Structure 1
Amino acid sequence: AGPHVRGADTTRALDDLARAARARMGGTVIGVTGSVGKTSAKEALFAALDRGMPGAVHHSIKSYNNHTGVPLSLARMPRDARAAVLEMGMNHPGELAALTRLVRPHIAMITAIAPAHTEFFADESAIADAKGEIFQGLEPGGTAIVPFDSPHRDRLIAAARPHAGHIVTFGLDDGADVRAIEAMRLPTGASFVTARLGQRELSFTLAQPGMHWVSNALAVLAAVEAAGGDLGLAGLALAEMGGLPGRGARFATALAGGEALVIDESYNANPASMRATLAVLGEERGRRLAVLGEMRELGEDSAAYHAGLVAPIEAARVELALLVGEAMTPLARALEGRTQVVHVPDTAAALARLPALIAPGDAVLVKGSNGVGLGRLVAGLRNGM
């Protein structure tokens, strides 16, 4: 065996390393959570801060957001980091309360509340309460960043009030502290956004398409301002940010006679993120195909959540839906007579069927829960099937 330290309890030892790394770091720590958008917002916030402090911003890699990933992210944080952006996730009550006390953020952001992991929660309000635990670890005088447009806004503000020195809201609706007063889609699929932050306005191009990304960008700007960062440089970073693999990356796949556009959202899915990305697909030209994997951990309402995707599928004018997984059965039935449907049991079957379904000029969205394994299908499309 190589050099090592032997401990009686490896979990406790990892947490102790995390606490030590956090204690020695004198910069600004930002915690990010939410039912949807937390990894994307974390990456966008890192890019926005790093543009103004190149090489001095630490952040969680991938989705290192659980009881192992968070302390690992803290333990590898450089002593001289000027800022750190740390993602925190949960699927049970009490998990975020423990993680946020390790992270001790100066700024705590919630991107959105939506049905996710609902088999572990009584209702969406309970999910909001669990996400609101992130504010319990705020450093004295810290800032809580809350989604203004959320139906759970007041619940989240109430959760933040005992712990936060400042509460900042972001959103598309009038009344938000940081809000979009203009969001215009450009021919490239990007958006031109004018945001108002108090008495100031910032106009910038947002590379990522979709109104859900406009909301993410507003949250990022709120956090950059709270951290004392450069808003102008943050806007430049948002203009240059490409899609993340599994979370909006776009590429052309070669086909006989041409190519098709692929929108890779294969990393995860819940009802809210399905609606948001289907809306993005609906803005694309050409024939629209949706390869949708089942959404997991939705509990006893799973059938209703799946069948409820009919409306966003129709609004996006999807001409063909390739549905993957047994839990997609209610949606397949609901789409009968409305949209062409191919329903298969797993990703292997989807891989076998897709080459005969896709054609040059198509726009193809691929999205499903990570456990479905649609990343393998995306890899096949990257390699030309």
Structure 2
Amino acid sequence: MYYGEKKIENPIRWAMVGGGKGSQIGYIHRSAALRDFNFALVAGAFDIDPERGKAFGKELHVAKDRCYPDYKTMFAEEAKREDGIQAVSVATPNGTHFEITKAALLAGLHVVCEKPLCFTTEEAEELEALAEKQNKVVGVTYGYAGHQMIQEARKLIEKGMLGKIRIVNMQFSHGFHNVAVEKNTASTKWRVDPKVAGPSYVLGDVGTHPLYLSEVMLPDMKIRRLMCSRQSFVESRAPLEDNAMTIMEYDNGAVGYVWSSCVNCGSMHGQKVRVIGEKASLEWWDERPNQLTYEVQGEPVRVLERGMDYLDDSSCTEDRIGAGHPEGLFEAWSNLYSRFAQAMDAADKGKKADFWYPDVHAGAEGVRWVENCVRSADHGAAWVDYR
């Protein structure tokens, strides 16, 4: 159980690029980062409109002279200060992630970046190498990974409770974009523009979330090859897809399936991960994140509840309130930001974090997966070797 005790000696001086007024994800970043006093928001370039960004920064109690017109100015000016920023979160449209993250690393800053980290494997590998060279942490906001029952699934699999893994069935298939909502919604419009969103829509926007959860649960399984079929049911979105099915083969003989969609009419979120072994299966559904279903063949279904004594100790360390009280997305993000802070603090002391979190390598893997899915789909749903 976590009671709010400090995880690091001093809060990390932190800034944001993007995440201004009207940005839902910006509010989630701030709520998560500031909740446990691991970060202190001291600067920002919050908006593409400098005056609007400054006005919003004032509402966030950021000093006027530390509300900057753009990230380049912020990095340069903050570097001159003894109390300058140590880390930055990037909450801007996809097409800017690579250049801002690279600039932040070159400026000697830790980074928390929205996914996708970038658009190509080459760019991802460049960021991986740069982060290592600079000894800086790059965290990627696969926010659902902060739910504690993901750790419990990892431990059950690690303990062999499922036996040899055979199938991993994943989906993130909501229905909110079943029509061309982007015509009237700016926050969706850029997501279907290849120049801003990159080579995919739902594969990168939602599909990489359950994929990362599966990687946390099954850290030793690697994709050998995959095939992907993608569609643009709202024709104006072409060439970007609003629905995709991906089949994967793993190096241990298991198979995986990912359904990525925003046209699953009636579905609120539809994000589920089901891992099927030779002895048992487990399933996690993000609309009921405090539960994990554990099913042994021939026995009654077990529903494991967050915060209970029968869970592995490591699955309870980030509980913020007793069992029975529902925790949600804000708690999950707070858990990840706490991990980011501890990893940054360790790096500044010349150490490595001894726990998992969505790091630059996880971000690069998401980019690699999308790239391979697009390559397969654009060649008639052909099988492609994973690289």
- TM-score, with structure 2 as normaliser: 0.30
Higher relative contact order (CA 8 A, sep 6+): 2
TM-score by length of 1: 0.30
